[in-house]
Structure 1
Amino acid sequence: MIEDKIQVLRQAAKVSNEQSSDHLWCVAAGNEELVNDIAYAAISSKDRVKILFREHVTLEESYVHKKFDFIMLYGDADKIRELSYVSKENGGAYIQIAPFYVGNEPNLMLLVAPDDAIKKFVGDAERKSSSFSILLEDQTTGFIETDLQLSVKLPNFLQDMIAPLFNMSDVVLSTVLISIEDIEDVVKIKKIATKNNVFIIDFKDIVIDD
């Protein structure tokens, strides 16, 4: 437990290539309850943190629907780091982005998706010679909600037996910050992400200048 808290402290302190900052962006992802907790903490902080947006995502994969939420915040660095505890202690994925990255890395993109989808996206991008660098990444350790969707109607007692097996399946969710070197690759990478059910956010669309 102590080791885990030390690791969280180290991760929270790792900002902008050892550069401090008054304000940070962050994205947190996980189940609905986790993101509700983070949203509540952000709203309770008054003007210290702004909620830029929140998304609820449902991915349909064969017989299973994977459901997760993620939220994008911007605000006071101390409060943003404090929220990392809320996320980490509840199994969420959480990355914080300092102005260093915005000023020094080209074409920043945020990716949010189940880990297997992220890995397939990376493989497809590599095959198509779309070059990018992974700057930050984090994964969930808690459970993501999943629903069993059957095309054949089963007796209730069978559904009650089978459904929990899917709802308890451990789906790892990843949040990743990437930098795309060539502007020509931006559209290509966005298309590859969409094809692989990876939620991609162009960072220039959410930047807030102080």
Structure 2
Amino acid sequence: MIESKIKVLRKAAQVSTVQDSDKIWCVIAGNEEMVNNVAYAAISAKERVKIVFREHVNLKESFVRKKFDFIMLHGDSNIIRELSLICKENGGAYLKIAPYYVKNESNLILLVAPDNAIKKFAGDAEKDNIKFSFILEDKTTGFIETDVSITNHLPKLLRDVVDPLFKLTDMVLSTILISTDEQYIKQIKKVANSNQIFVVEFKEIIEEE
């Protein structure tokens, strides 16, 4: 399935048109294998889409370490649409950020974290009277890897049996795009960092492009 989509992407990237398709931004998040597939497909269509950055995140909560990846892309909307299908078919979260949002929404900020951390962030921001608006949101439906460090102390034979049970997690990963006023940006970053949320200020990405 992945290989067939990559062939389609390669053909699409080679097709020259009089007028290029609109360029859009997108963020894809989920388990490492899914993001690897998206990255590979994006590289196969590198003439029409660019990998802006990719992050591998490890979050430790008590004895549990949660692992996930996310990637930001920019390029041809048709190619990115195909990449989004790889994401959604494999349980990932996907945000399509059209030029409209970049032009018309002030101070866009991307947040990526487990869903419970995002909800905690929203609650903390409300308590501190930090104003922001939700623009886009998506959540994973697929497998997200976790490690439980307490199993490291078990005998290997028992650990081999127990580890897979802990790795089967129902953790939901959320990707959120918000808009806020300039005065709240530092506060939002502070609250997000305290909740172990990955934060990207969108204008910094645009300035680098």
Normalising by structure 1, what TM-score? 0.86
Q: As a proportion of its length, which structure holds more helix?
A: 2
Report the CA distance between 1:48 and its aligned residue: 0.4
Unmatched tracts of structure 1, length 5 or more: 1-20
Question: Retained in 1: the 8 A contact 2:151–2:159?
Answer: no
Cα distance change, pair 153–209 in 1 and its aligned pair in 2 (3 A): closer
Residues in 1 aligned to 2:111 and 2:152: alpha-carbon distance in whole angstroms: 35
Question: Retained in 1: the 8 A contact 2:111–2:198?
Answer: yes
Cα distance change, pair 44–208 in 1 and its aligned pair in 2 (3 A): farther
Question: 1:44-95 CA distances to partner (integer Å, 9 max, x unpaired)?
Answer: 0131000000000000111111000000000001111111100000000000
Identity among equivalent positions (%) equals: 61
- Of stretches 199-208 and 185-194 in structure 1, the one that deviates more from structure 2 is 199-208
Establish whether residue 24 from structure 1 lines up as the match of residue 49 from structure 2: no
Question: Retained in 1: the 8 A contact 2:30–2:91?
Answer: yes
1:76 counterpart residue number: 76
2:162 counterpart residue number: 162
Equivalent residue letter for 1:28: I
After TM superposition, the structure 1 = structure 2 runs for residues 110-149 of structure 1, keeping only pairs within 5 Å, are 110-149=110-149
Instruction: Give the superposed CA RMSD.
Output: 1.6
Establish whether residue 186 from structure 1 lines up as the match of residue 180 from structure 2: no
Equivalent residue letter for 1:184: Q
1:60 counterpart residue number: 60
Unmatched tracts of structure 2, length 5 or more: 1-20
| Number of equivalent positions | 189
Moved over 6 A (4+): none
SS in 1 for 2:206: coil
2:200 counterpart residue number: 201
Normalising by structure 2, what TM-score? 0.86
Cα distance change, pair 192–173 in 1 and its aligned pair in 2 (3 A): same
Report the CA distance between 1:160 and its aligned residue: 2.6
Report the CA distance between 1:36 and its aligned residue: 0.6
